Amino acid sequence: MPHSNYLYQTRDIKFQIKEWLDMNKLLSCDGYKDYYSVDDFDSILDVNHKICRDVLCPANADADEIGV
């Protein structure tokens, strides 16, 4: 169940990867061009966002109360 206080969005990190880091230039290198695309990175970020939102974020309240 998603946590209602989780505010992070992938829009900013996608902008940084695509525009600021110029992911298309990196993916045009020989080691990457036949294996990965920008869409692959979008999918990876979306799945990681879902895991963080649904699994890790709900544990934050417990960690704040109990500690490490």
Flag whether 57 is in a domain. Answer: yes
Print the domain residue range for 23.
11-66
Instruction: Give the model confidence (pLDDT) of 37-61 as tens digits.
Output: 888 989 999 999 999 888 888 877 7
- What is the torsion angle, in degrees rounded to the nearest 10, for the CA atoms of residue 19, residue 9, residue 44 and residue 3? 170
N-to-C CA span, the chain:
23
Flag whether 37 is in a domain. Answer: yes
Flag whether 17 is in a domain. Answer: yes
What is the pLDDT, as a whole number, of residue 23? 87
Flag whether 1 is in a domain. Answer: no
Residue 52 and residue 5 in contact, taking contact as beta carbons nearer than 8 Å = no
* pLDDT over 70 percentage in the chain: 85
Instruction: Quote the number of domains for the chain.
Output: 1
